[in-house]
Amino acid sequence: MVGRMAAVLRAVSSAMPRGITTAEVARSTGLARPTAHRLLGAMAAEGFCDHDHREGLWLLGPEMYLMGTVAAERYDITEIARDHVAALADATGESAFLSVRRGEETVCLLRADGAFPIRSFVLYEGKRFPLGVASAGLAILSFLPEAATERYLESHDLEPTHGSEHGREALRTSIAETRERGWAENPGLIVEGSWGMGAAVFDAAGQPAWALSLTGIESRFSTERRPELGRLLMHHAHELSKKLRGERVLPTP
C-alpha cells in the first residue's frame, strides 16, 4: 500500500504545476483507474493531494508543502548551489540546472536561463527522469558504484519508453564514455535538436547525489565547444561538492 501511494504522489508531483487526471495517474503507475482514484481521494482527505473539480486535475496538497519545508532544512542544497547554476548560465548563455537523485530518478530543482534567446524546455523545475535518461541522470548513474550501476541496468529496461539509445548495451557504452570524459552528454535523445551535458555532484560520502547540467539547441553544442562546456561543468560540480563537504572552495569564475 505504501509503495502504491508513493507512486501516485510521484505521478502527481511530475505533473506539477499543470496537474494530472486520474486516468493519467493510472497509466503512469500501472494501477487500475478505480484504485488510483481511491488512493488520490484518501490522500486528498489528509491534505497530501488537492483536486481541482472544475478541471478534473489532481495537484499536490498543502500538507506536502509543509512537510517539504521541514525536510528542506536537512536535504535542500538549492541555496548553496544557486550561485553555481547562475554562473553556468551566465558563462555559457545556455540554460543551467541542478537536479537531485531521488531513488531511481532525478528531479530538477533549479533552472537559470542564459542570454542566448533560443532555449530548450525539455527540463524544468519538478521534471523527473529515470536514471540514465537526460544528461543529469546519466552523470549520476555513471558514477554510482559499479555494482549499483549494473544492478540498475539489469533491473530496468528503458528501451520501450525512451528508445533504443537507452537500451542496456547503449547505456553501458554511454556510461563508459561518461566515465572517461568526466561529464555526460545527451545528443538530442529526448527531443531531437535539444542537447544536454551534465556533471555529477558528490555528497560527503562520495556518492553522486546531484548533478549540474546545461541544455540548449544542437548548434550551440558543437564538437569544438563541448570540451569548454564540459570543463565549466566539471569545475562547478567539483567546487559544489567541496562546499557540501565543508572544504575551502575557489572563487566562482
Residue 211's closest CA among 129, 68, 108? 108
Distance of CA 143 to the CA centre of its chain: 15
The pLDDT tens digits of the residues spanning 86-99 come to: 999 999 999 999 99
**DSSP symbol at 218:** G
- What's the pLDDT at 214? 97
The pTM of the full predicted model, rounded to 2 decimals, is 0.71
**237 pLDDT more than 90:** yes
- What's the pLDDT at 76? 65
> Which residues, at least 6 apart from 38, have a Cβ–Cβ distance to it below 8 Å?
none
**245 pLDDT more than 90:** no
What percent helix, strand, coil does the chain show, rounded to 5? 50, 20, 30
The pLDDT tens digits of the residues spanning 104-149 come to: 999 999 999 999 998 887 888 888 999 999 999 999 999 999 999 9
Mean pLDDT of the chain: 90
Cell of 187: 545528443
The pLDDT tens digits of the residues spanning 4-18 come to: 998 899 888 877 778
Phi, psi torsion values for 127, nearest 5 degrees: -70, 135
* Gyration radius of the chain over CA positions: 19
What SS3 state is found at 77? coil
**Pair 135, 197: CB distance under 8 Å:** yes
Lowest mean pLDDT among 11-20, 100-109, 161-170: 11-20
Residue 129's closest CA among 101, 156, 168? 101
**Pair 200, 175: CB distance under 8 Å:** no
What SS3 state is found at 188? coil
Task: Give CA–CA dist 150/207, Å, rounded.
Answer: 16
| Domains defined for the chain, CATH in brackets | 2-67 (1.10.10.10), 76-244 (3.30.450.40)
**174 pLDDT more than 70:** yes
Distances (CA, A) of 4 to 8, 32, 93, 157, 170: 6, 11, 41, 20, 31
**73 pLDDT more than 80:** no
What SS3 state is found at 211? strand
Task: Give the pLDDT mean for 181-191.
Answer: 94
Task: Give the pLDDT mean for 146-155.
Answer: 92
**Pair 169, 62: CB distance under 8 Å:** no
* Cα 182-188-190 angle, rounded to 5 deg: 105
- What's the pLDDT at 144? 93
Task: Give the pLDDT mean for 48-74.
Answer: 80
The DSSP bridge pattern shows strands 57-60 and 49-52 to be antiparallel
Task: Give CA–CA dist 179/116, Å, rounded.
Answer: 29
- What's the pLDDT at 10? 84
Cell of 120: 530548450
Distances (CA, A) of 82 to 56, 75, 87, 203, 212: 35, 15, 9, 17, 11
Task: Give CA–CA dist 137/141, Å, rounded.
Answer: 6
Task: Give the pLDDT mean for 179-202.
Answer: 95
